[in-house]
Structure 1
Amino acid sequence: MAVHTKKIGLSLGADLCWPACYEEIIRALKLEIPIGEDALRFHVERISVEPFDLQQPCSYDVVLDRLTHWFHTSREWIKKAVLLDGLYVLNNPWSLQAMEKHTSYVAMMRLGMPIPKTWLVPPKEHAPGADTQTTLRRYAKLFDIAKIGDQLGYPLFMKPYDGGAWVGVTRIDGPEALRDAYEQSGTRVMHLQAAVDPFDLFVRAIGVGPQVYIVRYDPGAPLHDRYKVDFHFVDGDEWSLLQDTCLTINAFFGWEFNSCEALRKDGVFHPIDFANA
């Protein structure tokens, strides 16, 4: 019997807990899976960041990627390995590159999900470019951002259209605060989104393949304490709805794993952030 070792790469950033747990689980299981007359073992390795030849071979069979939605050097290495070497990656890097938060909102609005009312506003500042100022003079319309805030109502949230990890997110309680936040937003294209307020429950539906687990979530708690060990905080119908919501989003975008944040107000769950793949 021949024993073959499959190599699993972990594409990581500042991750601490999950890769250490994953590595230890693989070691503890000591997997040796029979495939016909042969057997498969598994080796886990963390992927380094370094220059690469576009034609160099890839030693990994599968990569679990938690980095390249924001770190582009590794994203381009993964895309090279998929095209040239047949690497399988979870999740699809092209999907993550194309389907950012803005796209995910629009797609799920079309499917009828109760996404909070959302506007996109041009950046306060623009990076220098040969034609930037000419384009802006010809076509950019002046607007009063406070009027958009009035249409959405307060409180609202300003956040990057492609963002994640709560970076650049500001709660806005009035027009002056909105103007101040917009003045400080720099070159980032921003969303203005009506707050789901007041809400009585914040959950994350965490989907891995066909499995979804619903966790009560507290974004204001210290990082280590945001996922709450709690049970029976939703009923059976709500659990099924949240599972279906997460699976629908993942199926639409072709994501093997993802999490969907949702807030409950007056008995309705409003998905607010679900491009977390």
Structure 2
Amino acid sequence: MKKIGLLYGDENKFPTAVIERINQKKPKKIIAEPVKIDKVLQNAPSEYAVIIDRISKDIPFYRSFLKNAALNGTAVLNNPFWEVADDKFFNGALAEKLGIKSPKAVILPSHHRPPHTQADSFRNLDFPLDFPHIFDYVGFPAYFKPYKGNHRELVHRVENKEEFFKCYGETGKTVMILQEAISYDQYFRCYCLGQKDVYCMEFTPENGNIQRYSAQTDKAPSLLHKRIKELVLQLNESLGYDINTVEIAVKGKTLYPIDVYNPVPLADDSIIGAQNFEWLVEHTAQLAIQRAEAHQEEHSNLTWGKFITRSTKGKSVDKIHKAQKVIQKDLQDLNLKVDNSR
């Protein structure tokens, strides 16, 4: 029996709904349940073929558990090695490399020093920063937001340099991005699952949580809808996310990816609405079942984006494992024993 596990925190409805939906479908020799952890032994496999991760971004212990599980064959959605390395500033840079029009942005060091650092830790930064050039490049108005995560309380629209410096002083130890504000005609938030299923929701980011999703969903004109989906797929294929949302601003005929990094998308039906919630639950369940059916023991079952796979020139984790086994055999042939007991 293959197990699909949901790893989650204080949210209840979405993880429970996904577990129930998977089990209602009665996939052959597959069952879904909440992940249970009573010990994590080094290099020991987990009991799960697939784990859907909704919480490890906030809990380092869970992140290490997932990487250990992935090393031993668990398909973790999303890849715990890549998601921890990604950020919104990199996303914008990658979009430009892909030929996608992206808002201008700069990354800025945290206003306050991070823990365990001194003034000399930043000797390579030239203070004061070249703010006149930065402001000229990005322009005003602009959005000032964290480079990673969903800290919406720290997202500010700044109209001028005075407002920028006031906000900057209130951001503490958070690394921030100053991003060009795009005056858009339409705005969409798009779920992307399995790098093949895209669902577009009209979205009003300036509104409060509930009002953001109040417009008609998945109803963009067919040609525009097609272009948005193609762009969302291109970005997710490059980054390698199994589950993600992408925010797209439409200005005239140009599509701007505003926020590409949201691998633990909001899934509260009281906010996103019943129709959107139903789509997300159903397609998450389908994706988890597909990954469980495709799961191969003692192989890497992670998803890696094209950005990484092209960089490794085809050197997959499985090939690396095979090379390690060859080296170990050669050592044994030389009567050198590798101590794996530690």
Q: Which amino acid aligns with 2:2?
A: K
Within 2, Cα distance between the matches of 1:267 and 1:165?
Answer: 30
Question: Hey, what's the Cα distance between the residues in 2 that align with 1:259 and 1:138?
Answer: 35
Letter in 1 for 2:191: I
2:190 paired residue among 191, 195, 205:
205
Q: TM-score, structure 1 length as denominator?
A: 0.84
The aligned residue for residue 49 of structure 2 is 61
Q: What is the CA deviation profile of residues 74-94 of structure 1, one whole-angstrom value per residue up to 9, with x for unaligned ones?
A: 1110001111x3111111111
Listed one character per residue, the Cα deviations across residues 216-270 of structure 1 (whole Å, up to 9, x for unaligned) are 1233444345334615752222111111111111111122221110111233221
State the match for 2:250 in structure 1.
Answer: 264
Question: Kindly tell me: are residues 260 and 195 of structure 1, through their superposed partners in 2, closer, same or farther at Cα, counting changes over 3 Å?
Answer: same
The percent identity for this pair of structures is 27
User: Counterpart in 2 of 1:18?
Assistant: 14
* Shift in CA distance, 225/49, structure 1 to aligned 2, threshold 3 Å: farther
TM, length-normalised to structure 2: 0.69
1:127 aligns with 2:114: yes
Greater share of helix residues, 1 or 2? Answer: 2
Q: Which 5+ residue runs of structure 2 have no aligned equivalent?
A: 264-342
- For 1:243 and 1:165, how far apart are their aligned partners in 2? 26
What is the SS of the residue equivalent to 1:89?
strand
Contact 1:145 1:178 in 2 (8 A): no
Pairing partner for 1:190 from 153, 161, 176: 176
Contact preservation (8 Å) 1:146, 1:179: no
Change (3 A) 1:268 1:233: farther
Structure 1 counterpart of 2:83: 96
User: In the comparison of the two structures, how many residue pairs are matched?
Assistant: 262
Q: For residues 151-170 of structure 1, what are the structure 2 equivalents within 5 Å?
A: 151-164=137-150, 166-170=152-156
Which amino acid in the other structure matches residue 190 of structure 2?
Answer: A
Once residues 17 and 218 of structure 2 are traced to their aligned partners in structure 1, the CA distance between those partners, rounded to angstroms, is: 27
2:94 pairs, out of 84, 91, 107, with: 107
For residue 144 of structure 1, report the CA deviation from its aligned partner. Answer: 5.6
Q: What is the alpha-carbon distance in structure 2 between the residues aligned to residue 269 and residue 60 of structure 1?
A: 39
Q: 1:259 to 1:232 in 2, by over 3 A?
A: closer
Structure with the higher fraction of residues in strand conformation: 1
In structure 2, do the counterparts of structure 1 residues 162 and 138 end up closer, same or farther at CA, with 3 Å as the change threshold?
A: closer
Aligned-pair CA distance for 1:148 = 2.6
Tell me how far apart the structure 2 counterparts of residues 138 and 212 of structure 1 sit (CA, whole Å). 43
Judged with a 3 Å threshold, the aligned counterparts in structure 2 of structure 1 residues 28 and 137 are, in CA distance, closer, same or farther, namely: closer
Question: 1:127, CA displacement in angstroms?
Answer: 2.4
- Cα 1:249–1:232 change in 2 (3 A) is closer
Distance 1:138 1:54, change over 3 A: closer
Secondary structure, aligned partner of 2:152 = coil
2-side partners of 1:27 and 1:139: how far apart?
Answer: 54
Structure scoring higher RCO (CA < 8 A, sep ≥ 6) equals 2
**What SS does structure 2 have at the residue aligned with 1:184?**
coil
Worse-superposed segment, 68-77 or 137-146: 137-146
Answer whether contact 1:121 1:189 (CA < 8 A) is retained. Answer: yes
- Name the CA shift for 1:238/1:111 in 2 (closer, same or farther; >3 Å): same
Letter in structure 1 aligned against 2:83: L
Secondary structure of 2:112's aligned partner: coil
Does structure 2 retain, via aligned residues, the 8 Å contact 1:146–1:175? Answer: no
Q: CA 1:176–1:193 in structure 2 vs 1: closer, same or farther (change >3 Å)?
A: same
